[in-house]
Chains A and B, each alone.
Chain A
Amino acid sequence: MKIAVCIKRVPDQDVRFKIAAGGKAVDEAGLKFDMSDFDGYAAEVAIQLTEKAGAGEVTVVSVGPDAVQETLRKALSMGAHRAVQLKHDTPVHDGYAIASALAAELKEGAYDLILTGRMAVDTQNRSVGAQLAELLDRPYIGAITKLDVEGGMVKARRELEGAFELVECTLPAVLSIDEGIARARYPSLKGIMAAKKKPMDVRPAQLGAQRYTLESLELPPERTGGRIIGEGPDAVPELVRLLKEEAKIL
């Protein structure tokens, strides 16, 4: 089975960001980058599928500047077999443009499965997977939490509010992976060493038209400090009054 996993390089999330001069990007000074969490789960799922089958190949693909090679290398050290960088040096925000670049790469290569993360943890966008499926004209199942691939069929489970949905489709297919399905493994040194020798292709990204642009980034207002109104049941009436009159949420 040939599997492709699309991954995105994102800055580590639990830090306080600063906006870079120009107001259109975050200040990258001091930031650490890694694979978007959901893409990590997707890579893990793909690697486990080939490990279980004892055959197959996992290709990881990423659109971006040369820095994405580090992220691709991490996926290789987890156990992916080859990597492709679709090189583009300026940030792209339009999911359609990225999906077109990926489609141009992945339409060849006879991939049985193409996996993406459910969403990018930095921009919280989640359209690339579905658009990619559309461009390649393949079935798409989004936000999968359980997956079985057998006899040319995909059986997937999706988690809804208070219910599960079981979905099936035929291969080849495009799937997006939600959390809970697998934890991205921590690469062993053996894996890191092996990754250094695995192939990494670099090709220019054939981006589709960018139909929207990022106008500006702003930080949310500073949280104002909390206030202690009192303690125990005595404080309740005052709390209710404040929630009604000041916060106006009751």
Chain B
Amino acid sequence: MHIVFALVVVAAFGLFAWNAWRLILELRMGRLDDSRWSDVGARLGNLLSIGIFQKKIFRDSVAGPMHAAIFWGFCVLTAGTIEFLVAGVFPSFSFAKVLPGVLYRFYTINQDVWGALVLLAVSFALFRRITKRVKRLMGAETHPNDPLLILSWIGALMITMFGDQAMAMVANPEPGIGLLRPISAVIAALSSVVVSPSAALTLERLFWVSHGLLVLSFLNYLPYSKHLHVVVSLPNVYLSNTSGPGQVGVMSAMDLEGDLEVFGAKDVEQLSWKSLLDGFACTECGRCTSVCPANITGKPLSPRKIMVNVRERLEEKSAAAGIGLIGRSAGGTAVTTAGATTARALLDTYITEDELWACTSCRACVTECPVSIDQLSVINELRRNLVLGESRFPEEILPAFESMEQKGSPWAFDPADRAKWADGMDIPTMAELHGRGEKPDVLYWVGCMGSFDDRAKKTTVAFAKIMKAAGVRFAILAQEEKCHGDPARRMGNEYLYQMLAKDAVGVLNTYAVTKVVTACPHCFHQMGNEFPQWGGHFDVIHHSTFIEELLAAGKVPLRADLHEPVSKFTYHDSCYLGRYNEVYDAPREALKRALPVMELVEMPRSRDRGMCCGAGGGRMFMEEHVAEGGKRINAERAEEALATGATTIAVACPFCMTMLADSVKARDADVTVLDIAEVVAGRLAV
């Protein structure tokens, strides 16, 4: 019996090892130049908080505790499973023999308690799946039967575990055992009424065998299921982009000099191995898709589908390459022959152009994903292939590309007008100061929108006034400022981006600039976090932080009259300020300091859950095609802002300003949209 069991265990682990090896080979089909061995500290931190403590899981208040119970239960019960397997081979083995009494009791009690919690949690999960149509769990790309199977499997594991323990107690009652396994003991006591000790012995064997088989088959089903996440989610969290404001959202620098065959990614081989691991780790929970502004408003994009597609395509390809002999995801498409896979690719066969161009690069999906998957990086790589490899993109963005190259701004304004907003304001340029051998305290990088867009220019002027009133010695680049190419990079045009970014870094380095302030979150992110790729190391500050610091230091002379009526404000978080750089408090604090009588009401989606205005990722330059039943992204957001009853919507980004102001205007609402700089400038004493 024990020999047979030992053979079964070896076979099961052998099969699992083979599957694990297959998965590793599949990962190795991807790009391997994406090293993730650095930042051990930060990675361990992520592992602990996001992995072990389930920080992101708890963002959903219903599913969070449920999942955490199952996860922690699994961790605890793994110890029991080890004891179970070892004892199966060496029947005399028990943790009782190796652990001191107290510890052993701690162990057994925990087995019982967590077993019960897991059973409760999976029952609730099954109940929820079957009776409630939870929207985020649905979607064409999901495999809805897989979770039902898995949850039942886990339930059966728990039932057989308790059955085994309880029947052993009935068959062979030992005094004091109730203290070790209280729940099993209760079951034993109840069942001893109807089950005789001899029948219990048979039942115990039955439960024992089925528990063993369930454990081993579960282990081997995982690699074929979306529940592979049970195995890979912790490694995936460890290997994810190391957090830290700014760093998470940095796009990788492409080597454009090398002799590349394919630019960006057209298929899974051109994706990083980490993106492929992301595909394995995806649990199809749909948290990403449920917060995706494109998806919410009826666009064809679903970040979950992107990840499911990565995995499906990888399995199709690896099967064709003879790697995964029986590789296919549960309910997924059947494996095709090698010939049929050559004409197929991740791009177009699985993921369409329209899905890719719908993305606003808002990072809501990445932030929400409980296992730290980076959906956006796949989208970005595929966009790069569309633009760099095939010159395929919505025709509306052609003028933006051409204008960035020709006129140094995505809009076709005359570059000579770049500093027109400053006429009569007596603001020095870097060139003038340089000529006089002077250096400003800070360079004000105005940005293209702030320089040319009529609405954004008001913010620019307001911010300049604040700095003047506070006695800040600042200068601008005027005509020497040109787009740094961030919109091009986000739209996949890495070539144009690198050209512009290197130019901009060159200009800043000529003047030996050290400190930069800007009112545009996109400039802020690009210059602060991505310029280092081109040798540009500047201390870049967003104007919200800058203003807040000036206010805190009492340097901004504000009017003292506090007789103004209390006004209701709401603040809209910009993605590139918030999720990309974790600046949430500074703009809010600045508002409060400037307007002590103000009431700040938060929208339901705020801070790191803030919803995008719809302009990021180059969407600003594209047509928004609204499907039947869908709406514009800015409409969705403006409605949310208006529902707070606020009379002023404050923003800290010129793109958000345009999107929200447009939508508010279209609704005829008597609400103003103001940049925080305008709010503060409106309170200046001078």
Residues of A within 8 A of B (CB): 12, 14-16, 30, 32, 34, 183, 185-193
Contacts and interface: CB of A to CB of B under 8 A. Distances in A.
Contact of B406 (A32, A186, A191): A32
Interface of B: 256, 259-260, 263, 387-391, 393, 395, 398, 401-402, 405-407, 412, 414-416, 479, 494-495
Contacts of B416: 15-16, 30
Given A16-B414, A16-B416, A30-B415, A187 B391 contact: yes
Contact of A192 (B395, B405, B495): B495
A190 B495 contact: no
Nearest to A191: B391
A188 B496 CA distance: 11
Closest 8 CB pairs of A and B: A189-B388, A188-B391, A32-B406, A15-B414, A189-B495, A12-B406, A186-B391, A189-B263
B389 A190 contact: yes
18 contacts: A12-B407, A15-B407, A15-B414, A15-B416, A16-B414, A30-B415, A32-B407, A34-B406, A183-B395, A183-B398, A185-B391, A188-B390, A188-B391, A189-B263, A189-B494, A190-B389, A191-B391, A192-B495
Which of A16, A183, A185, A189 lies at the interface centre, i.e. has the most chain B CB atoms within 10 A of its CB?
A189
Given A30-B415, A32-B406, A186 B401 contact: yes
B389 A15 contact: no
B256 A189 contact: yes
B415 A190 contact: no
Which of A30, A187, A188 lies at the interface centre, i.e. has the most chain B CB atoms within 10 A of its CB?
A188
Contacts of A189: 256, 263, 387-389, 494-495
Contacts of A34: 406
A185 B395 CA distance: 10
Contacts, number: 47
Nearest to B408: A32
Contacts of B390: 188, 190
B485 to A, nearest CB: 14
A69 to B, nearest CB: 17
A188 B415 contact: no
Contacts of B391: 185-188, 191
B388 A190 contact: yes
B415 A15 contact: yes
A185 B416 CA distance: 28
B583 to A, nearest CB: 34
A183 B396 CA distance: 13
Contacts of A186: 391, 393, 398, 401-402
Nearest to B256: A189
B161 to A, nearest CB: 58
A14 B414 contact: yes
B437 to A, nearest CB: 25
A190 B262 CA distance: 8
A14 B260 CA distance: 36
Contacts of B263: 188-190
Contacts of B260: 193
B270 to A, nearest CB: 14
Given A189-B387, A189-B388, 16 more contacts: A15-B416, A30-B416, A32-B405, A32-B407, A183-B395, A183-B398, A185-B391, A186-B391, A186-B398, A187-B391, A188-B388, A189-B494, A190-B389, A191-B391, A192-B495, A193-B260
Contacts of A190: 263, 388-390
A133 B635 CA distance: 57
A186 B496 CA distance: 12
Contacts of A188: 263, 387-391
Which of B388, B405, B494 lies at the interface centre, i.e. has the most chain A CB atoms within 10 A of its CB?
B388
A16 B407 CA distance: 12
A140 B260 CA distance: 43
A183 B398 CA distance: 11
Contacts of A32: 405-407
A192 B391 CA distance: 11
Contacts of A15: 407, 414-416
A189 B495 CA distance: 7
Nearest to A15: B414
Contacts of B414: 14-16
Contacts of B256: 189
B257 to A, nearest CB: 10
Nearest to A185: B391
